[in-house]
């Protein structure tokens, strides 16, 4: 009997459903319900909507797909395998197993075709906004008449859980304001979360909510209606001024006789007996597992090969573009390969000691503006705090619905979404993004910072107002534990520079740093510029810690600190010398960079035999114990701050030259 087009589509969709149930059952862990309910959406996306090349998943003009509901990742893994990506049937069988290519949530850099790491709900939704901004920005910079080099779209599947998370509201509001018409999101409206029906907690009208934001909204009442899904996607593709949400009513665990539309299909395997019933329901042999009919594999692989032709067409276009616009093509190729323009670092300013006191946030702004012309792919902004964080690029305009070439971003008071948007930008080749807010508000951004560290991508996070030196805003705004909390994250480089020149070098390290986010932590209050003719040059910052000023004789102790406290250590060193106490001063702007240095260098800075060490930092103490030995001491913060001028607070909490001298003398007896 000849198979009709409709029946091969249905058999193919049901194959995905059964594969997902099998993989979750074999792992005895996972979420079978979403893939079973959303398989028709996946089919429309991979067979009709998206442009991609399974053999070259990094093709620059591919459409991006984000599974924001990352718990349903078997949906994505199945389609990557079926379409011909570098994912095998054995990989599906190894779902959620050690060292597999198919972890429990999609992971960027692990499996080809995974655009970004999702897991915490709402992150993928907001990441897509970053992808969309990146596409518009690249198009504005590089596209020319008759050369639409970058015209891709961003697709996502989101869940009820995504819609509940606050980050989604932040990101949706921003996307509508920026008129990101290249966003097309499916909302998998299956009415089920882990605790049961979403009616327990979630009864809002999501469609009306997104209309209020300014999105283009469509509703598909039946998630199995392929024609309706196809029509909705085409309408969304035609909408260029508004992001699109397609609300699709689906049934979690579709095809499971006893668990469809129940929470049991959400976070647990269906069970061996129920999986057999699912297979019977869809016409599969209940005694066989991981079966893909030959006609299904042939059908999907042909579609994958057909989609790959889109890249062939693009390659021809790009060759003509290279010939007509060689400088732009060269620039994009350089930046997208992670290289930096030759000589850019020569633009980094050097600040003389004769300068007046300067807050490191102000120094950072001067550095940013000095290097901006040489780094055309450096773009960013702040969460409504640019006058305070000093992050505007003075010679450039803002990114807006009318100016996608703008390099200044206004994220609004949306710190959580800002972090996730930066991650979406950071995985867009050809862009180095940065974002800024107060250090205390880094708490709002911990999930995206953590995900950036997991993905080993390099957004630059600028956090100002870094201590009790914030002053009069008081306890609620003075960061105490945040600095150490950021240092606790693996694969994050945290830099707290001591003055303007260390700040300049922090930017050099951040721009050149591969494989993870960089956090630059800056002061509100003015700091003296350390004399680089008298003391060690700030270029040593790249080593994380360095001997800023050594004693003339064998030191009796080491004074070590970061940020605004380092200048106090230099003054204390002078005072101690008058009392015949020899102190070495170590500036330690980055624990992480120092820990990467050789054992010989670490011994040079902190000799094992020199165990009297005083660490001084206006933040939580706990991380310092690694460096001060059991004979050392810490001058830090063990309480929250208070509301008062910075000078009064530093005096109250003991961050004075006099107290440092006193603590040093007590340390050496």
Domain co-membership, 13 together with 79: yes
Work out the burial of residue 610: count CB atoms within 10 Å of its CB; fewer than 13 is exposed, 13-18 middle, 19 or more buried. Answer: middle
Answer yes or no: is 282 a known binding residue.
Answer: no
Residue 590 pLDDT grade (very low, low, confident, very high; cuts 50, 70, 90): very high
276 domain-assigned: yes
What's the pLDDT tens digit per position in 130-188?
Answer: 999 999 999 999 999 999 999 999 999 999 999 999 999 999 999 999 999 999 999 99
- When computed from its CA atoms, the radius of gyration of the chain, rounded to whole angstroms, is 28
How confident is the model at residue 3, as a pLDDT?
40
Domain co-membership, 51 together with 124: yes
How confident is the model at residue 2, as a pLDDT?
36
In a 13 Å sphere around the CA of 120, the CA atoms on its Cβ side amount to 19
Answer yes or no: is 458 a known binding residue.
Answer: no
Collapse the DSSP code of 284 into the 3-class scheme (helix H, G, I; strand E, B; otherwise coil) and give the result. coil
Residue 504 pLDDT grade (very low, low, confident, very high; cuts 50, 70, 90): very high
DSSP symbols for 25-88: HHHT-S--HHHHHHHHHHHHIIIII----TT-TT-TTPPEEEESSGGGHHHHHHHHHHHTSS--
Domain co-membership, 546 together with 516: no
**CATH code of the domain containing 475:** 3.40.50.970
In contact, 555 and 573? CB cutoff 8 Å: no
H helices, E strands: number in the chain:
24, 20
Burial 638-669 (b: 16+ CB within 10 A, else e): eeebeeeebeebbeebbbbbebbbebbeebee
Domain co-membership, 284 together with 398: no
Distances in Å between the Cα of 512 and the Cα atoms of 210, 233, 365, 506 are 40, 41, 18, 10
Which residues does the annotation mark as catalytic?
415
In contact, 126 and 411? CB cutoff 8 Å: no
Residue 6 pLDDT grade (very low, low, confident, very high; cuts 50, 70, 90): low
Answer yes or no: is 71 a known binding residue.
Answer: yes
How many percent of the chain have pLDDT more than 70? 99
Extract the runs of DSSP E, i.e. beta strands, from 210-299.
216-220, 244-249
**CATH code of the domain containing 639:** 3.40.50.920
437 domain-assigned: yes
Q: Give the pair of three-digit tokens for residue 11.
A: 């058999």
Answer yes or no: is 477 a known binding residue.
Answer: yes
| Structural domain boundaries, residue 447 | 344-521
Domain co-membership, 431 together with 576: no
Domain end point (choices 281, 308, 335): 308
Mean pLDDT computed over 192-212: 97
What's the pLDDT tens digit per position in 451-469?
Answer: 999 999 999 999 999 999 9
Spatial separation of the C-alpha atoms in residues 252 and 604, rounded to whole Å: 61
What's the pLDDT tens digit per position in 381-435?
Answer: 999 999 999 999 999 999 999 999 999 999 999 999 999 999 999 999 999 999 9
Answer yes or no: is 100 a known binding residue.
Answer: no
Location of structure tokens 């979750």: 24
The answer on pLDDT for 114 being more than 70 is: yes
How confident is the model at residue 669, as a pLDDT?
86
Domain end point (choices 489, 521, 553): 521
20 domain-assigned: yes
2: region left, alpha or beta (phi > 0 left; psi from -120 to 50 alpha):
beta
Q: Give the pair of three-digit tokens for residue 118.
A: 């999702």
Domain co-membership, 67 together with 113: yes
- Among residues 389, 465, 464, 470, which one has the least CA distance to residue 647? 470
The answer on pLDDT for 5 being more than 80 is: no
What's the pLDDT tens digit per position in 326-384?
Answer: 999 999 999 999 999 999 999 999 999 999 999 999 999 999 999 999 999 999 999 99
pTM of the model: 0.97
How confident is the model at residue 566, as a pLDDT?
98
Answer yes or no: is 606 a known binding residue.
Answer: no
Mean pLDDT computed over 485-512: 98
In contact, 85 and 115? CB cutoff 8 Å: no
Domain co-membership, 271 together with 144: yes
Answer yes or no: is 128 a known binding residue.
Answer: no
Domain co-membership, 118 together with 28: yes
DSSP symbols for 630-654: TT-EEEEESS---SS-HHHHHHHTT
In contact, 499 and 528? CB cutoff 8 Å: yes
Collapse the DSSP code of 559 into the 3-class scheme (helix H, G, I; strand E, B; otherwise coil) and give the result. strand
Determine what percent of the chain falls in helix, strand and coil, rounding each to the nearest 5. 45, 15, 40
582 domain-assigned: yes
* H or E segment and range at residue 233: helix 226-238
Answer yes or no: is 192 a known binding residue.
Answer: yes
Spatial separation of the C-alpha atoms in residues 647 and 643, rounded to whole Å: 11
Answer yes or no: is 120 a known binding residue.
Answer: yes
Spatial separation of the C-alpha atoms in residues 110 and 243, rounded to whole Å: 29
Domain co-membership, 280 together with 395: no
316 domain-assigned: no
Domain co-membership, 576 together with 475: no
508 domain-assigned: yes
Domain co-membership, 568 together with 430: no
Answer yes or no: is 266 a known binding residue.
Answer: yes
Spatial separation of the C-alpha atoms in residues 406 and 438, rounded to whole Å: 24
Q: Tell how strand 196-197 and strand 192-193 pair up.
A: antiparallel
118 domain-assigned: yes
How confident is the model at residue 28, as a pLDDT?
98
Answer yes or no: is 473 a known binding residue.
Answer: yes
Residue 31 pLDDT grade (very low, low, confident, very high; cuts 50, 70, 90): very high
DSSP symbols for 434-463: EEEEEGGGGGGGHHHHHHHHHHT---EEEE
Mean pLDDT computed over 284-313: 97
The overall average pLDDT reported for the chain is 97
321 domain-assigned: no
Domain end point (choices 283, 308, 333): 308
User: Which residues on adjacent β-strands are paired with residue 586?
Assistant: 547, 560
How many percent of the chain have pLDDT more than 90? 98
Collapse the DSSP code of 189 into the 3-class scheme (helix H, G, I; strand E, B; otherwise coil) and give the result. strand
Number of domains in the chain: 3
How confident is the model at residue 190, as a pLDDT?
97
Answer yes or no: is 514 a known binding residue.
Answer: no
Spatial separation of the C-alpha atoms in residues 426 and 648, rounded to whole Å: 41
What's the pLDDT tens digit per position in 591-640?
Answer: 999 999 999 999 999 999 999 999 999 999 999 999 999 999 999 999 99
Answer yes or no: is 374 a known binding residue.
Answer: no
Location of structure tokens 């518009």: 136
Domain co-membership, 42 together with 174: yes
The answer on pLDDT for 1 being more than 50 is: no
Answer yes or no: is 469 a known binding residue.
Answer: no
How confident is the model at residue 498, as a pLDDT?
98
């Amino acid at each position: 009997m000849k198979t009709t087009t409709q029946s091969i589509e249905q058999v193919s969709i049901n194959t995905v459903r059964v594969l997902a149930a099998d993989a979750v059952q074999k792992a005895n862990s996972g979420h079978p319900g979403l893939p079973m309910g959303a398989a028709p959406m996946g089919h429309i996306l991979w067979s009709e909507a998206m442009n991609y090349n399974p053999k070259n998943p990094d093709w620059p003009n591919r459409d991006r797909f984000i599974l924001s509901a990352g718990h349903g990742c078997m949906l994505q893994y199945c389609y990557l395998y079926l379409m011909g990506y570098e994912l095998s049937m054995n990989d599906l069988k190894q779902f959620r197993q050690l060292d597999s290519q198919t972890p429990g949530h999609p992971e960027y850099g692990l499996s080809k075709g995974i655009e970004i790491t999702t897991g915490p709900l709402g992150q993928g939704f907001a990441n897509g906004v970053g992808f969309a901004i990146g596409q518009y920005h690249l198009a504005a910079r590089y596209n020319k008449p008759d050369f639409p080099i970058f015209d891709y779209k961003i697709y996502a599947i989101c869940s009820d859980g995504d819609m509940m998370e606050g980050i989604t509201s932040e990101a949706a509001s921003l996307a509508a304001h920026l008129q990101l018409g290249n966003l097309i999101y499916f909302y998998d409206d299956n009415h089920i979360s882990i605790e049961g029906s979403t009616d327990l907690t979630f009864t809002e009208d999501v469609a009306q909510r997104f209309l209020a934001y300014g999105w283009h909204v469509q509703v598909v009442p039946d998630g199995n209606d392929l024609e309706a899904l196809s029509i909705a996607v085409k309408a969304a593709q035609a909408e260029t001024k508004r992001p699109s949400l397609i609300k699709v009513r689906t049934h979690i665990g579709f095809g499971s006789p006893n668990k469809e539309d129940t929470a049991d299909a959400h976070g647990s395997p269906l069970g061996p007996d129920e999986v057999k019933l699912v297979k019977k329901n869809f016409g599969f042999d209940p005694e066989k597992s991981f079966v893909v009919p030959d006609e299904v594999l042939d059908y999907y692989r042909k579609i994958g090969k057909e989609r790959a032709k889109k890249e062939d067409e693009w390659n021809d276009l790009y060759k003509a573009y290279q010939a007509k616009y060689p400088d732009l093509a060269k620039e994009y190729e350089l930046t997208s390969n992670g290289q930096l323009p030759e000589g850019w670092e020569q633009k980094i300013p050097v600040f003389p000691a004769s300068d007046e006191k300067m807050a490191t946030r102000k120094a950072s702004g001067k550095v940013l503006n000095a290097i901006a012309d040489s780094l055309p792919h450096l773009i960013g902004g702040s969460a409504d705090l640019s006058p305070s964080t000093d992050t505007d690029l003075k010679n450039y305009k803002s990114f807006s619905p009318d100016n996608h070439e703008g390099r200044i971003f206004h994220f609004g008071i949306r710190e959580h979404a800002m972090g996730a948007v930066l991650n979406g930008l950071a995985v867009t080749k050809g862009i180095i993004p940065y974002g800024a807010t107060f250090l205390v508000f880094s708490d709002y951004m911990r999930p995206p910072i953590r995900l950036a560290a997991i993905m080993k991508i390099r957004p630059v996070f600028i956090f100002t107002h870094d201590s009790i030196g914030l002053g009069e805003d008081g306890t609620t705004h003075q960061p105490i534990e945040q600095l150490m909390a950021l240092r606790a994250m693996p694969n994050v480089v945290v830099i707290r520079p001591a003055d303007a020149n260390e700040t300049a070098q922090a930017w050099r390290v951040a721009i050149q740093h591969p494989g993870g986010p960089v956090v630059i932590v800056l002061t509100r209050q003015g700091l003296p510029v350390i004399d680089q003719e008298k003391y060690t040059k700030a270029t040593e910052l790249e080593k994380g810690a360095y001997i800023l000023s050594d004693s003339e004789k064998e030191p009796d102790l080491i004074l070590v600190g970061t940020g605004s406290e380092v200048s106090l250590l230099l003054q204390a060193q002078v005072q101690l010398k008058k009392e015949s106490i020899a102190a070495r001063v170590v500036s330690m702007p980055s624990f992480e960079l120092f820990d990467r240095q050789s054992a010989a260098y670490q011994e040079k800075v902190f000799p094992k035999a020199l165990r009297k060490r005083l660490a001084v930092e206006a933040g939580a103490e706990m991380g310092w114990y690694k460096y001060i030995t059991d004979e050392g001491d810490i001058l830090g913060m063990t309480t929250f701050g208070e509301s008062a001028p910075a000078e009064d607070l530093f005096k109250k909490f003991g961050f004075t030259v006099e107290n440092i001298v006193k603590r040093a003398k007590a340390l050496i007896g």
